[in-house]
Amino acid sequence: MSPSRLPGSRERDWENGSNASSPASVPEYTGPRLYKEPSAKSNKFIIHNALSHCCLAGKVNEPQKNRILEEIEKSKANHFLILFRDSSCQFRALYTLSGETEELSRLAGYGPRTVTPAMVEGIYKYNSDRKRFTQIPAKTMSMSVDAFTIQGHLWQSKKPTTPKKGGGTPK
- pLDDT given at position 98: 76
Do 45 and 108 contact (CB within 8 A), yes or no? no
Bridge pairing between strands 18-19 and 80-84? unpaired
- pLDDT given at position 38: 46
Q: How far apart are CA 156 and CA 169, in angstroms?
A: 30
- pLDDT given at position 142: 82
- pLDDT given at position 134: 92
Report residues of the chain scoring pLDDT below 50.
Answer: 35-39
- pLDDT given at position 153: 86
Widest pairwise Cα distance in the chain: 122
Nearest CA to 130 out of 159, 168, 160, 89 is that of 89
User: Tens of pLDDT along 107-124?
Assistant: 999 999 999 989 999 999
Q: How far apart are CA 88 and CA 95, in angstroms?
A: 19
For the chain, the average pLDDT equals 79
Nearest CA to 78 out of 45, 118, 116, 113 is that of 45
User: Tens of pLDDT along 86-100?
Assistant: 888 899 999 998 777
**pTM of this structure:** 0.68
- pLDDT given at position 171: 56
- pLDDT given at position 144: 87
Q: How far apart are CA 83 and CA 106, in angstroms?
A: 9
Q: How far apart are CA 140 and CA 122, in angstroms?
A: 10
- pLDDT given at position 104: 92
For the chain, give the DSSP string: --GGGSTT---EETTTTEETTS-TT-PPP-S--S----SSS--HHHHHHHIIIIIT-SSTTHHHHHHHHHHHHH---S-EEEEESSTT--EEEEEEE-TTT--EEEEEESS-SEE-GGGEEEEEEEETTTTEEEEES--S--TT--EEEE-GGGSPPPPPPPPPTT-S---
